[in-house]
Amino acid sequence: MRRQDLTYGLGKAVPIVLGYIPIGFAFGVLAHEAGLSIGEILAMSVLVFAGSSQFIAVAMLQAGAGIGSIVATAFIVNLRQLLFSASITPYLKGYSAPKLALLSYELTDESFAVAMGEFANDKQNNQFLWGLFPPCHAAWALSTVLGALVGNLIPDPGAFGLDYALTAMFICLLIFQVKDRVALLTALVAAAAGIGIYLLLPGRWNIIIATILAATVGVGAEKWLKST
């Protein structure tokens, strides 16, 4: 593993880290308000490391939901990671099973977007991932602890829009990814399908179904444009 690869990955991690700090801080505040201790918040950020699932888990804890319901909901919400893993696997040839397991544990929406952007630009050296993933995880965990530490100083997190922080980050990621007509069509299909299925189908299945549907439409549209 070359030092310059790690340095390159670290540089690519900086925007994600800067985005994680305020969102992790917001989660720490909300989790502290929900009654979680600093140790529990840190453990969740280290072991789970999934922003959307952590926000959902805290909201369900406040609503009095059982552990089984929380775990099942988090599992369904994170099913999209199966698609992410399948997409990035072709670029990780030669990796052993333990290394693949470690990288999959560190994979998030944001790091996946950055990594695939690099691979799309014909960057075949995948060693930069070891400089990209760990700093993101560390920044998330530390920022959630910081939010928990100062949580008492913010009596009403919702008044400052902290509960909207994760949604805002996903919107920013979407905007940066929409660079052509196929990406725009894919985003519109995902949004329409996600909302429509959510209104018709109970539970969190709208996320994974909308993802598969939008990806299928995007691939079909791209092939059609290349053939014309």
Residue 158 has pLDDT above 80, yes or no: no
**Average pLDDT rounded to a whole number, residues 101-123:** 84
Question: Taking the domains of the chain in order of start, what are their residue ranges?
Answer: 3-177, 179-228
Question: Cα–Cα–Cα angle for 48, 55, 130, nearest 5°?
Answer: 40
Residue 42 has pLDDT above 80, yes or no: yes
**Average pLDDT rounded to a whole number, residues 110-136:** 84
pLDDT in tens, 65-87: 788 878 887 887 787 788 888 88
Residue 52's identity, in one-letter code, is S
* Segment among 90-104, 171-185, 211-225 with least mean pLDDT: 171-185
**Average pLDDT rounded to a whole number, residues 13-18:** 90
**Average pLDDT rounded to a whole number, residues 222-227:** 79
CA distance 106 to 103: 5
Give the per-residue pLDDT at 126. Answer: 84
Question: 205-227 vs 80-88: helix axis angle to the nearest 10?
Answer: 40
User: What DSSP assignment string belongs to 113-181?
Assistant: HHHHHHHHTT---GGGHHHHHHHHHHHHHHHHHHHHHTGGG-S-GGGGTGGGHHHHHHHHHHHHH--SH
Q: How confident is the model at residue 60 (pLDDT cuts 50, 70, 90)?
A: confident
Give the per-residue pLDDT at 211. Answer: 76
| Entry pTM | 0.71
| Residue 17 structure tokens | 């880290």
